[in-house]
Amino acid sequence: MKSGNLKTFFVIILVFLMATSSVPSLFGSPASDGELVGGGIGLYDVSPWMDDFDDSSRVNFTQNTVVTSGHVELAAGHGSGLVASEGIFAPPGYRYDLLVIEADTPGTSSVRISVLNATEDSAIVGYVNQPIPGFLKLDRTQIPLSGVGIKAFPEIRLQADLEAAGLDRPLLLKWTIYFISGDMWRDDFLGDGKIEEYTKVNFTGDTIEVDLSKQNTYAPGYGNYDKFPAIFASRDSGSQNRLEMGVFYPNAAGNGYQGRTQLYAENVRGFFAGDIDNDGYIDMVVANQRNGGDYTRDSWILWGDSSGTYDVARRTDLATNAANNPALGDVDGDGWLDVLICTGGGSGEVRVFLNPGSRAFTGTPDISLPGSDL
């Protein structure tokens, strides 16, 4: 999860906090036992759906897992398994807003969360129901659900995939879905789950702290919430024909990086990362400039998967010429990330490759924007 280290000074901004006795008309009153209730601006004004696994009454399905003593654990003798919730509905007039996960994942063990369409049988092996695009095996503790519309998905189900790492065995402790009025968007800063990018701030429960301790800023290039995500690197070697790039993967302890892993590339002039196919894994766009004197070289999408590694054999080619400075953005407004790559040559242009909603890119640009020596 994104975070910053507060060292010297900070300013605390209180936004949408529970009431204090001096301002009851603005914030409402806190409920007993931690329940969030309304009153003016307040916090969430309907009870969330929640399962703390005191029993299995809200569990629909288990596979190689056991619900016991307030958590879900892997069954003895199994290194992986899953648990799925009962069907979940939003109250009338409300929509799904935020999913909050509490889990214990020692070492490199993991609990990955998927949101399923409870009204549709799964066409994908390993899921109790059909997973909703963009919500597959997410390794995050807070997942915004604004993209899960109640008309398209009137009933949803949660699935957690637990995976051990040697003797380290994960526990799923609790999951909670908060609901919000259908005509409202808000962020109560329960964490950074709804924040795509931020600079010099820290999240501490119900507050944001502005971090003034550093002169530099922190602005992540993509929303990978794993600690120590893979880092791609290359260098300009002038006239040398450099047919490689480096990737640094996290070490086994999950507290740093391994040495450089070399992959084939063609004088790379830029990388850009994002979940292009909405499978929950980060993909990487690689802009290849040339191979020797041949500048008509394809750029690539390297597809991420559960291995956490990348391979040029697992790629999609995109037709480019002297490529540089790739980017991702939803150009046509369909909710999927499209690929944009600057190309050089005599005239130069920006080539846009529209996302078909899968990995099946045609490889030829759908839009070309002319320029000059971009």
User: Which residues touch 64 (CB under 8 Å, ≥6 apart)?
Assistant: 74, 75, 78, 80, 81, 82
DSSP of 14-53, one letter per residue?
A: E-SPPP-TT-HHHH--PPGGG----BTB-S-SSPPEEE--
pLDDT at position 105 over 90? yes
For 270-285, the pLDDT digits (tens) are 999 988 998 888 999 9
pLDDT at position 144 over 80? yes
pLDDT at position 225 over 50? no
Instruction: Give me the domains of the chain, ranges plus CATH numbers.
Output: 10-211 (2.60.120), 231-370 (no CATH)
Cβ atoms of 79 and 167 closer than 8 Å = no
Distance (Å, rounded) from C-alpha 144 to C-alpha 96? 8
Q: Average pLDDT for residues 249-272, to the nearest whole number?
A: 91
* pLDDT at residue number 158: 98
Average pLDDT of every residue of the chain: 80
**Terminal CA-to-CA distance of the chain, rounded, Å?**
35
